[in-house]
Structure 1
Amino acid sequence: MSTTSAHQTCNHPARDVAIVGLSSAVVSLAATIVVMAFSGPPLAIFGAGGSTFVAAISAGMNILSHIRRNA
């Protein structure tokens, strides 16, 4: 048995994508709650949730790809 071993980095892309997706869902729900608190119409509530989800997931994926590229 060798006393020296090579350091192996963990590569779990499915876990990272799941974290980004769940974080985006939480941000989207928060935006929906804020619009509902101000008595927004249903279309505004739906639009706020959807657009926030898309923005958060694309920002999260960009950050994730930047981290992967520099690691």
Structure 2
Amino acid sequence: MSVNSTHQACDHPARDIAIVALGSIVVALVAAVVMVAFNARALAVFAASGTSLAASLGVGMNILSHVKRGAQPK
């Protein structure tokens, strides 16, 4: 790439969604580990990890939508 070349932003929505989904899975796994560390029952571990997965995926997708909307050329 030369010094005078223009920068073109890549638009890979599948990659962005995959990153958000994988981050949400990590959050859910951390929640499950924390619940197991507190000797919670299996149903409580499942509920906590599912809730944290849904919440973090929802927040991540909202943030992604907001960032993509702000990056639109005018």
TM-score by length of 1: 0.89
* Deviation of 1:18 (Å): 0.3
Counterpart residue type for residue 11 of structure 1: D
How large is the RMSD of aligned CA atoms in angstroms? Answer: 1.3
* Deviation of 1:9 (Å): 1.7
Find out whether 1:17 has 2:17 as its counterpart.
Answer: yes
Alignment of 1:32-47 (within 5 A): 32-47=32-47
**Percent sequence identity over matched residues?**
53
What CA distance in whole angstroms lies between the structure 1 residues aligned with 2:68 and 2:47? Answer: 31
- Equivalent position SS for 1:39: coil
Structure 1 unaligned residues grouped into runs of 5+: none
Structure 2 unaligned residues grouped into runs of 5+: none
Find out whether 1:58 has 2:36 as its counterpart.
Answer: no
- Equivalent position SS for 1:10: coil
- Match of 2:49? 49
